[in-house]
Chains A and B, each alone.
Chain A
């Protein structure tokens, strides 16, 4: 299931320390829309193994600033509450799966 994070929800999930993949996006961004079905697909595929979510940088500017998001879409991976990897720009699902599989 895909999670739409608020700042509170994000911080709570981060504290739990599980493997997380978070897509930073905004509605004005075409490439973000393009990546959206890929993220949805991964949310289903990794159900129970990793938390897959999205952060709207328009609504949650604090999170975007905290993680220095300078270009969207940016997908950031977290484990044990820390950033372990990030991918900037549109890429095929396999690129994200590789990071997830390597950290399960």
Chain B
């Protein structure tokens, strides 16, 4: 089925957008991580949200999430790994493709810079998708750079396919198969010739044929290269429209202040603008 609106991101902005769009009777699909993995979930106390002081970050998120579910928004847990404008928009999560007529970007801020060599070797040994490319590395050595809570599962999947997996991350992973060696390292750089030959991890070279870099989100500008930004944030107008037709943005990804009330307000506006866009399009 084709949804009226696809929302990328399940934080306050994305959930507020979902509630507003459902209020206008649009079909809504939210694609995002578990709300427990949102940076807000780690806030011990939020005191500046109007009328509801003293809540924990996770308490707020759960309430917001239940509200959106109660309004009939649908959810897909996972990470959008690619996006294409084609008769609306198509979004890929793992091996599934979802279609929508309008798009709201609410992924938060990506705080992780790319590693040296990452862009250069993308598609030549660097991959963001274990589901897609794992089979191409059967019986070969790969390194999983784990920067998201679900990265250990992806590493286990690659191991089950027959890849020789090494897991590299700054903190010890939870849920990693005990057969997979773990290397604790934070400063990484991808090395290669024609294709990837290894990963330098805190100064030590680990030889491998492939590097799977698994972050919590794929940056919106990587999903949609024509998207305009300003000082690292997505450029939007008062209606939260981006420079790409049918694409709106809300929340931390549009700029400071990185606050829940600002994200919720923007999510609401973005959803109403997306609804107007759809109604206008239908009249044509």
Q: Chain A's nearest CB lies how many Å from the CB of B219?
A: 14
- Of A28, A37, A92, the residue contacting B132 (CB under 8 A) is A28
Q: Chain B's nearest CB lies how many Å from the CB of A34?
A: 5
CA distance A56 to B135 in the complex (A): 12
CA distance A68 to B140 in the complex (A): 13
The answer to whether B85 and A31 have CB atoms under 8 Å apart is no
CA distance A28 to B134 in the complex (A): 10
CA distance A102 to B132 in the complex (A): 30
Whether A2 sits at the interface, judged by CB under 8 Å, is no
CA distance A27 to B247 in the complex (A): 29
The answer to whether B127 and A70 have CB atoms under 8 Å apart is yes
Closest residue to B96 on the A side, CB-wise? A30
Q: Chain A's nearest CB lies how many Å from the CB of B124?
A: 6
The answer to whether B81 and A30 have CB atoms under 8 Å apart is yes
Whether A57 sits at the interface, judged by CB under 8 Å, is yes
Given A31-B129, A88-B122: A71 in contact with B136 (beta carbons within 8 A): yes
Q: Chain B's nearest CB lies how many Å from the CB of A60?
A: 12
What count of chain B residues pass the 8 Å CB interface test? 29
Q: Chain A's nearest CB lies how many Å from the CB of B144?
A: 15
The answer to whether A64 and B84 have CB atoms under 8 Å apart is no
CA distance A26 to B210 in the complex (A): 19
Closest residue to A58 on the B side, CB-wise? B135
**Residues from chain B with Cβ under 8 Å of A14 in the complex:** none
The answer to whether B135 and A28 have CB atoms under 8 Å apart is yes
Q: Chain A's nearest CB lies how many Å from the CB of B85?
A: 7
The answer to whether A30 and B92 have CB atoms under 8 Å apart is yes
CA distance A70 to B137 in the complex (A): 8
- Of B81, B124, B135, B210, the residue contacting A31 (CB under 8 A) is B81
The answer to whether A71 and B97 have CB atoms under 8 Å apart is no
The answer to whether B136 and A28 have CB atoms under 8 Å apart is no
- Of A30, A34, A68, A89, the residue contacting B195 (CB under 8 A) is A68
The answer to whether B133 and A71 have CB atoms under 8 Å apart is yes
The answer to whether B132 and A72 have CB atoms under 8 Å apart is yes
The answer to whether A34 and B92 have CB atoms under 8 Å apart is yes
Q: Chain B's nearest CB lies how many Å from the CB of A35?
A: 7
The answer to whether B86 and A32 have CB atoms under 8 Å apart is no
CA distance A85 to B90 in the complex (A): 26
Whether A63 sits at the interface, judged by CB under 8 Å, is no
The answer to whether A34 and B82 have CB atoms under 8 Å apart is yes
Given A88-B122, A88-B123: A30 in contact with B85 (beta carbons within 8 A): no
Q: Chain A's nearest CB lies how many Å from the CB of B98?
A: 9
The answer to whether B84 and A29 have CB atoms under 8 Å apart is no
**Residues from chain B with Cβ under 8 Å of A33 in the complex:** 92, 95, 97
- Of A27, A37, A38, A64, the residue contacting B136 (CB under 8 A) is A64
The answer to whether A70 and B123 have CB atoms under 8 Å apart is yes
Whether B272 sits at the interface, judged by CB under 8 Å, is no
CA distance A70 to B124 in the complex (A): 6
**Extra 6 A-B pairs, beta carbons < 8 Å, given A28-B95, A90-B92:** A31-B81, A31-B132, A71-B132, A88-B124, A90-B84, A92-B85
4 tightest A-B contacts by CB?
A: A88-B123, A30-B92, A29-B132, A71-B123
A-B contact pairs, 11 of them (CB 8 A): A27-B95, A30-B97, A31-B82, A31-B92, A31-B132, A38-B84, A68-B194, A70-B136, A71-B123, A71-B136, A89-B82
